[in-house]
Amino acid sequence: MTDTTLTPPAIGTTTRAPRIGESAPRPDGIPKVQGRFAYSSDLWAEGMLWGHTLRAPHAAARITSLDIGPALRIPGVQAVLTADDVPGRRTYGLEIHDQPVFASDVIRYQGEPVACVAADHPETARRAAEAIVVAYEPLTPLTDAEAAIEAPAIHPDGNVVRHLVIRHGDPTVTGDVVVEGTYEVGMQDQAPLGTEAGMAVPTEDGGVELYIATQWLHVDQAQVAASLDLPPDKVRLQLAGVGGAFGAREDVSLQIHLALLALHTGRPVKMVYDRAESFFGHVHRHPATMWYRHHATADGTLVNVEARLVFDGGAYASSSPAVIGNAACFAVGPYFTPNALIDGWAMRTNNPPCGAMRGFGAVQTCFAHEAQMDKLAAALGMDPVELRLRNALKTGDTLPTGQVITGTAPVAEVIQAVVDVPDAVSPVLEGKPMALPGGAGRTADPEAVRRGSGFAVGFKNIAFSEGFDDFSTARVRLDRGVATVTTACAEVGQGFVTIAQQFTREVLGVDEVVLAPADTTIGSAGSTSASRQTWMSGGAVKAAAEAVRERMLALVAADHGVDPGVLRVEGDRIVSADGTVDLPVTTALGDRVVEETVEYHHAPTYPLDEHGQGDAHLSFAFVAHRAVVDVDPELGLCRLVDLVTSQDVGKVLNPLQLLGQLEGGAAQGVGLALMEEILVTDGTVRNASFTDYLIPTALDLPDLRVGELVEQPEPDAPFGAKGVGEPPTISSTPAVVAAVRAATGLDLPRTPVRPSDIALANRSAPSSPEAP
Amino acid sequence: MTAPETYDLTVNGTSHHVPGAWIGESLLYVLRERLGLPGAKNACEQGECGSCSVLVDGRLVCSCLVLAASAVGSEITTVESLATDGALSDVQQAFVDAGAVQCGFCTPGLVMAVEDLLRRDSTPTELEVREAISGNLCRCTGYGRVIDAVRVAVRRRTGAEVA
Amino acid sequence: MTVLLPDSLDRACAQLADHPEAHVLAGGTDLMVEVNFGHRRPEAILSLSRVPELKGWHRDGDQLVLGAGVTYTELCDPEVAAVAPALAMAARTVGSPQIRNAGTIGGNLGTGSPAGDTLPVLAALDATVELVSVTGRRTLPIGDYCVGPKRTARDASELIASVTVPVARGPQEYLKVGPRNAMVISVAGLAAIADLEARTVAFGLGSVGPVPLRAPEAEAWITERIDWDAARLTHPDDADELGRLVAAAARPIDDHRATADYRRHCVGVLARRAITRMFSA
């Protein structure tokens, strides 16, 4: 930690609860370390049943017959439900309702739900699901996203989920130097440690209560209500403890099934996916194939960028329209170009459905544009960092969508902050065997190891875009010195609960801030995604707290016969400018209670027109990484030995929590660079387990070194703070792969890099014992 | 000797009667669903993630891989035993203080692994710490603050710095 | 389902004879995964956790006898490492501390996977496997014990009692390729055992065939090329040629973890590195 500017304050030195800018401890930390924190998989209810889902084994098939009789006859089985048991809308979806609650005539992806069961023991439920007799007529799956453009439709909505074109300036302009390449990103999985789980309890009024780990209570509520044919006020959702999300919980998984089972049996029903089922039960990151052509002048100024992006959205739409929208909007990267032509396709295939994953489209295009920038630098004979600095975006620049950046855009500062962190890696020859590539396998000889360094920069939007009415709701209540904050914001581990307390303390001057459970009795908080909650739900909390403060000051002003305008909250006291009023906030109101609810919207954004032009985004966050990787080229094994970052954060709200986001996001980016991929062949998943879907262990990552963070307050953001969750996943992957390219001299146009990509390419090259 | 359809397990020093409805249940399942001890978590049920880590006769193991009925007569220790009289263990406190908890799903397993490590080696190097927790997957933290939690715990216990 | 918990080896054999359908459970790192996922719903499980005769190891002259219940953690013990260094190295590469505390060498043998980490070492050591049942004991050379992927010569009525290996009489190596720095199923593994007294080198190849393989041509060739008096390779290029010969002995397949091509390539590289570590030119 010694190299980072984020040294947290010594523990236990503050005498009052931490405010903005301090490393407030999270309020749920103690129950979590004790194992007492109730995740959705820990729920229990008297008389509860266990649910289980029957899933299709084929990527594409027709269902020719379905017999639930054998399952119903198993002792302990209380319900077996299929598509015919859905009383309301039979399809659901985040943006487009194209996905069946249960498949009834056709299967479009491996693992598509066909039926579900409720029984008295999870083992009974599992056996009952297996006892259901389904006859399938397998079809040839459509698995090539490019071919899907022209192929016969596999869904009534067609195969093109979204096609957009961004045409900016004059895309026929050519440059003195032109570099071209085609890049691929494999299918990453969010792999949150907590699998899908929830409990549904039928209520006496014919409705249902759903305790669920999710990213967005209200959008789940709407889909459940629609399929159950119930009014939303009879479908009450409460957030249960969430074991991570990263996009996997934005779409409905078991919510509708659970609610149906509860209503059908009249009993509480709990469902927990095991890890294998979890891989089938949520959407993944879109695999992508991206062709690019960059044009620059001889001195390295970008003049035109052309790209064709084909994203494989799998069987159902999920959030593919927004993902390809993002990918296209950020396809050029954080660089200015006067001209661009971006052609973006989100396609439907019989591959596993894809949707939201941290980084949301920008991850894929960053991999491509950063590879291109390195290629361009090489062609120009220019330093790759210098090339990026030369073209870096800044406030006032126009993006390829025609939107002028009005907020902060400290790209050059972020790049410089990384550059300014000195190299600090010990030479390879000093490495202990466990620290060399191959780690515990003891395969590397130090002389065989080659070291390379890579640099990448990225960006994306904060909050929802393209005209989406993005808002959040918060209630703050001040009662005898204790503030209670209520939002429906889904805490998934990112630490919103801590920020909510810090914001409230800052505004109201009280130490004690209690968070009420998140549920649908209050208005929507929007999704925990798009790095938006600090701004949106934080903004709602701040606005509600400010409204409470205003009323509080008015009451206190009346108590003292002064104008409210002379009063302010300072620290933990209410004071007047002339010092005649000075009392603690905690007792100022006596037993008068003040409560305010605010629905907080951000400034409007606008759709993209037919040329991809429009002010589609609220704000942007920028990030850079520098990676050093040791490679054993003969075996193709890689070891990340150093990772440096800086990020455009607006304002550091909680140094320790921020560091956790930078480290965790970078780890996911490293995973996508070196080891994470859902392997799909003919629509069939080959590695639905942690044995073969590999996420980084503690031995796969070094300490993240954080350079000076760039704090340029974002004008409209609460406390000037930008969301920080996604950027760490964006430039980390390309930085690591660039380092591997430098170490090996190989093109490596695909991520994740597989050992054989390196080992077999190098096979014919003689080993030359150069010092690393 | 055949294990009867019901059996007793000693967990955290207390004997618990397990009705044993299905004798094939793992220790993880029995702890969580029958003994009211949900601290150990199920994130893979394959021994790949360490979220279910407990001690059986003082050895750190994945409870998902222990057949509950075969643990009769063993001393089983779970995360619930660490905090005494409402006070967190020093490792637990270090996790809280160092910001090592985000979603927290991996946390009980990690805490058990670190408690086990420091019992065996009071002053590990950073590499030894990483190897000791290599069987505990975390998706949120990237392990940085977790390593720091171990640093804090070692410093508080021994005054030494993890190298 | 029945759980059998014998407290002696004799009782274990008797119970197995009474319940031939019983699945044998040691550390649980293989069997419990299958039970948890419903792939196997055994009628009966015979747990060996209480059988004292299976625990521990002892030295018997120039042999090392390892009880089937010896865990990977115990194999990492410096006392074991002193007399069976490659076994200790292999055990260190297995899984995590949690897996090493539970998994046993007997379980590795019982599962008989070509990716099992101790098996290439046992193959190179010409280990002998001791099997017991109510009808008596027998020993099998490891080459006869492993007959196919997850298929062994163990009869369902037999238990693995122990495995015996020669005490090290020279340098040993174990290297394992996996795409992550910890917790990986071996994609290619190589054990190299040198016997300075007998003047032989043996290789055990893991994950590159249906069973752990030896490389008899490679072994014969390199044995002749080593300057045994100086304990060095006579010619620096010998390591390269050895790599080619060992790679030629591999019979790998393509699967989702790796291609046959990559596996064969790896095992050749591992052999070259191992021999160089053991007998630097």
C262 to A692: CB separation less than 8 angstroms, yes or no: no
What kind of architecture, by CATH, is found in domain A471-601? Answer: 2-Layer Sandwich (3.30)
Same domain, B13 and B70: yes
B50 to C98: CB separation less than 8 angstroms, yes or no: yes
Same domain, B101 and B145: yes
Q: Chain A closest CA to C60's CA: distance in Å? A: 30
Six token digits for residue C248: 């030629």
Q: Chain C closest CA to B144's CA: distance in Å? A: 17
Domain assignment of residue B39, given as a range: 7-81
b or e along A81-104 (b: 16 or more beta carbons within 10 Å of the residue's beta carbon)?
bbbebbebebbbbbbbbbbbbbbb
Mean pLDDT, chain A, rounded, equals 95
Which stretches of A557-610 are assigned E, i.e. beta strand?
Answer: 567-570, 573-576, 582-584, 594-601
Question: Does residue C135 sit at the A interface (CB-CB below 8 Å)?
Answer: no
Q: Is residue A37's pLDDT more than 60?
A: yes
ipTM exceeds 0.95: yes
What pLDDT, on the 0 to 100 scale, is given for residue A748?
A: 98
Q: Chain C closest CA to B1's CA: distance in Å? A: 5
Chains linked to B by 3 or more Cβ pairs within 8 Å: A, C
- Provide the pairing of β-strand B75-77 with B7-11: parallel
d(C-alpha B162, C-alpha B122), whole Å:
10
CATH code of the domain covering residue B146: 1.10.150.120
The residue-averaged pLDDT of A41-57 equals: 97
d(C-alpha A118, C-alpha A129), whole Å:
9
Greatest C-alpha distance within chain A: 89
Question: Does residue C28 sit at the B interface (CB-CB below 8 Å)?
Answer: yes
Residues of chain C scoring pLDDT < 50: none
Q: Which residue of B has its CA nearest to A670?
A: B142
Q: Is residue A3's pLDDT more than 50?
A: no
Question: Does residue C42 sit at the B interface (CB-CB below 8 Å)?
Answer: yes
A434 to B39: CB separation less than 8 angstroms, yes or no: no
B51 to A695: CB separation less than 8 angstroms, yes or no: no
Give per-residue pLDDT as tens, A105-120: 999 999 999 999 999 9
What pLDDT, on the 0 to 100 scale, is given for residue C40?
A: 66
Cβ-based neighbours of B122, under 8 Å, separated by 6 or more:
B154, B157, B158, B160
Q: Chain B closest CA to C122's CA: distance in Å? A: 25
Assess if residue B117 is contained within a domain. yes
Same domain, B108 and B154: yes
Same domain, B20 and B67: yes
Instruction: For Cα atoms A526, A530, A534, give the angle at the middle one, nearest 5 degrees.
Output: 70
The domain tally of chain B equals: 2
Q: Which of these, B153, B155, B109, B159, lies nearest to B132 by C-alpha position?
A: B109
Assess if residue B1 is contained within a domain. no
What is the percent of chain A with per-residue pLDDT over 70, rounded to a whole number? 96
What pLDDT, on the 0 to 100 scale, is given for residue A433?
A: 79
**Domain termination residue (choose one: B81, B112, B145):** B81
Q: Does domain A42-140+211-228+243-264 have CATH number 3.20.20.390?
A: no
Answering whether pTM is above 0.80, one says yes
Chains linked to C by 3 or more Cβ pairs within 8 Å: A, B
Same domain, B119 and B62: no
Assess if residue B106 is contained within a domain. yes
* Number of neighbouring beta carbons within 10 Å of residue A705: 21
What is the percent of chain A with per-residue pLDDT over 90, rounded to a whole number? 93
* Number of neighbouring beta carbons within 10 Å of residue B92: 27
Is residue C213 within 8 A of residue C205, CB to CB? The reply is yes
Question: Does residue A178 sit at the C interface (CB-CB below 8 Å)?
Answer: no
The residue-averaged pLDDT of B6-24 equals: 89
The residue-averaged pLDDT of A346-352 equals: 98
Same domain, B60 and B113: no
**Domain termination residue (choose one: B34, B56, B81):** B81
Same domain, B113 and B144: yes
Q: Is residue A145's pLDDT more than 90?
A: yes
Assess if residue B163 is contained within a domain. no
Q: Which residue of A has its CA nearest to B51?
A: A193
How crowded is the C-beta side of A764, counted as CA atoms within 13 Å? Answer: 1
Mutual angle of helices A655-674 and A732-744, in 10-degree steps: 50
**Domain termination residue (choose one: B57, B81, B105):** B81
Same domain, B50 and B70: yes
What is the percent of chain B with per-residue pLDDT over 90, rounded to a whole number? 89
Q: What is residue A588's DSSP assignment?
A: H
Q: Is residue A765's pLDDT more than 50?
A: no
Question: Does residue B160 sit at the C interface (CB-CB below 8 Å)?
Answer: no
Assess if residue B133 is contained within a domain. yes
What pLDDT, on the 0 to 100 scale, is given for residue A425?
A: 79
Give per-residue pLDDT as tens, A506-565: 999 999 999 999 999 999 999 999 999 999 999 999 999 999 999 999 999 999 999 999
Same domain, B76 and B12: yes
Same domain, B15 and B70: yes
C256 to A692: CB separation less than 8 angstroms, yes or no: yes
d(C-alpha B157, C-alpha C14), whole Å:
51
What pLDDT, on the 0 to 100 scale, is given for residue B43?
A: 98
C175 to A442: CB separation less than 8 angstroms, yes or no: yes
A35 to B32: CB separation less than 8 angstroms, yes or no: no
Cβ-based neighbours of A572, under 8 Å, separated by 6 or more:
A16, A509, A510, A511, A584, A585, A586
d(C-alpha B80, C-alpha B57), whole Å:
16
Assess if residue B64 is contained within a domain. yes
Cβ contacts of C27 on chain B, cutoff 8 Å: 65
Assess if residue B66 is contained within a domain. yes
Same domain, B63 and B94: no
d(C-alpha A672, C-alpha A287), whole Å:
11
User: How many beta-carbon contacts under 8 Å exist across A and C?
Assistant: 90
Domains and CATH numbers, chain C: 50-166 (3.30.465.10), 172-278 (3.30.390.50)
Q: Is residue A15's pLDDT more than 70?
A: no
d(C-alpha A600, C-alpha A587), whole Å:
29
Same domain, B58 and B117: no
Question: Does residue A126 sit at the C interface (CB-CB below 8 Å)?
Answer: yes
* Domain residue ranges of chain A, discontinuous segments joined by +: 42-140+211-228+243-264, 471-601
